[in-house]
Amino acid sequence: MFGLLKLSYHNQFNAAFPDTETLHLAKRLWLESLEAFTPEQIVAGAKRAIKQSEYLPTVHKMLQLCAAGDNGLPEARAAYREACNAPSPKANYHWSHPAVYHAGREANWFFLANNSESVAYPVFAEHYRKICARVLEGEKLPAPEQLRLEDNPGKPLSKEQNAEKLAALRAELDL
Ranges of the chain whose pLDDT falls below 50:
none
Q: DSSP string covering 68-88, please?
A: TSTT-PPPHHHHHHHHHHPPS
Burial (0-12, 13-18, 19+ Cβ within 10 Å), 142 = exposed
User: Where along the chain do its domains lie?
Assistant: 2-67, 74-175
How many angstroms separate the CA atoms of 54 and 63, rounded? 17
Cβ contact 65:14 at 8 Å: no
Burial (0-12, 13-18, 19+ Cβ within 10 Å), 15 = exposed
Look up residue 18 and give its DSSP letter. Answer: -
pLDDT of residue 94: 92
Alpha carbon 131 to its chain centroid, in Å, reads 7
pLDDT of residue 70: 60
Predicted model pTM: 0.55
